[in-house]
Each structure stands twice: as structure tokens, then as C-alpha cells.
Amino acid sequence: MDAKLKETILNPIFKGNPITVLVLGICSSLAVTVTLKGALVMALSVIVVTGISSLILSLLRNTIPGRVRIIVQLVVVAMMVILVDQILKSFEATYAIDKQLSVYIGLIITNCIVMGRIEAFALGNKPWPSFLDGVANGAGYGMILLIVAFFRELLGSGTLFGVDVLGWLGYVPNNLVILPPFALILLGCIVWVQRAIQKDLQEK
């Protein structure tokens, strides 16, 4: 694998993470991180949507009329989001989780990461790198989601993936952790840690 492709994949995971560095997709990362299971399904959904819409739009990039390109992007992204939602609703294992995520699956379409990567990357690159870029950005988003959800589920419900892990300590769940403000505090801490490690992000 050549260096550029590797950079395309690794950059969104840490150095250019869509949530902690670009500060995109904050809304849903506060809303769907109460449980790990919800965060995992959301992360996978976003990976699928960003990956495949980037792929489709990259394939179409030379044919799209410039004046209506945003609308064409929206149509494709909306189609992907609806497909993901329909598929989640169709399986026993994911039906309940889809109900729990309710509007947030549909709101993937408004997630700036999706449109941002299409506009910034997919429309100017070949399909394969575009697909990888979409997947990697989705994965970078999903990784932060899972980190936040890990702490929120552990401290807020005393469970991980629904399995009771703190019960034997007599742990009393903290209700603040369940509420969105705590997710913002936690996100702030993650940004703090990342900036401490990655010095070039610090302003002079």
C-alpha cells in the first residue's frame, strides 16, 4: 500500500479525527452514546453511509453538473441513510436498537462528516481512495463514539454492552452521566488528551 493511501486511512482515525479535531458530528455523539450497543450500531451505520456514498459519488464525479452537485450528493446520502434504516428495522437483532436510536439514524444525513468528506475528498479523487476515506472517517467518528459510550454506560448504568459489571461493588449509577452534558464534558477531556499528545494541534 502506498504512503498516500495509508495516510488517507490513518489520518481520520487520530490526527485529523472528525470529532475531536474537526469538531463535526458532535450532536449525534452526545445523543447516541448512552449505551455501547447503540454507539456501535450508530458507528457501523455511519461507516457504511460515508463509505458507500463516497464511493458512489466518486464514480459519478465527472458527470455531476456543478450547479446541482450538492443536491445530487444529498439524494445519494439520503438514499444510503434510508437503506441503512430499513435494513436495521428488518432484523430481529437490530430492531430494538433501531427503535432506541430512533431519529438519529435518519439524522446521519445531516452529519457534517458525510457531506464534508464527499465535498472535500470524493468529488476530486478516484473511487477506491474515496471509499477508504469515507470508511476511515466513519471509523474515526465511531471510535470516539465508542470511547464516550464506554464511560457513559459504565458509570451511568454500571453495565457494558448490557452486562452488569459494577453491580458486585454496590455501585449506584450516576444519573448525570446518562444526560447529554456529561458526554460533552467527556468529549472535552478526550480533546484535551489528544492535544496533550499531539503538540502541533496546540495554538501558540
Partner 1 sequence: MNTNSNLYTVIYTTVIVVVVAAVLAIVSQSLKGRQEANEKADTISQMLTAAGFGTKAEFQAMGNAAVLDKYAEEIDKAFVVDVDGQKVADLPLDQVYSPSQLKKQNYNLKGADTPQLPVFVFKNGITVVPVYGAGLWGPVWGYIAFEPASNTIKGAYFDHESETAGLGAKIKDDPAFQASFSGEKVLFDQDDPFDIVKGGAPRDAEDKSLIDNKIDAITGATMTSQGLERAIETWLGAYAKYFLGAAPESCAPQGEACCCSGCEKDCCATCPCEKCCTSEDCTLSCGENCCSTQCGCCAEGCCETKTVEE
| Rounded least distance, CB 108 to partner 1, Å | 15
Phi–psi pair at 153, nearest 5 degrees: -70, -40
Scan residues 129-148 and list those touching partner 1 (CB under 8 A): none
Q: Grid cell 468528506 — which residue?
A: 117
Q: Does 126 bind partner 1 (CB under 8 A)?
A: no
Judged by CB under 8 A, the stretch of 1-9, 46-54, 123-131, 175-183 that binds partner 1 is 175-183
Positive or negative: CA dihedral 50, 56, 62, 67: negative
Chain-centroid distance, C-alpha 2? 26
Among 13, 27, 179, 201, binds partner 1 (CB under 8 A): 179
Q: Does 163 bind partner 1 (CB under 8 A)?
A: no
Q: Does 66 bind partner 1 (CB under 8 A)?
A: yes
Q: Does 87 bind partner 1 (CB under 8 A)?
A: yes
| Rounded least distance, CB 87 to partner 1, Å | 7
Residue number with CB closer to partner 1 (21 or 145): 145
How many angstroms separate the most distant Cα atoms in the chain? 62
Report helix, strand or coil for 16: coil
List Cβ<8 Å contacts ≥24 apart for 62-66: 64/123
| Rounded least distance, CB 54 to partner 1, Å | 16
Scan residues 29-48 and list those touching partner 1 (CB under 8 A): 31, 34
Contacts of 166 (CB under 8 A, 6+ apart): 154, 158, 159
Report helix, strand or coil for 121: coil
Contact between 58 and 125 (Cβ < 8 Å): yes
The footprint of partner 1 on this chain (CB under 8 A) covers a number of residues equal to 31
Contact between 32 and 39 (Cβ < 8 Å): yes
Scan residues 45-64 and list those touching partner 1 (CB under 8 A): 62-64
Q: Residues in the site for partner 1, rule: CB under 8 A? A: 31, 34, 62-68, 71-72, 75-76, 78-79, 82-83, 86-87, 89-92, 95-96, 99, 102-103, 178-180
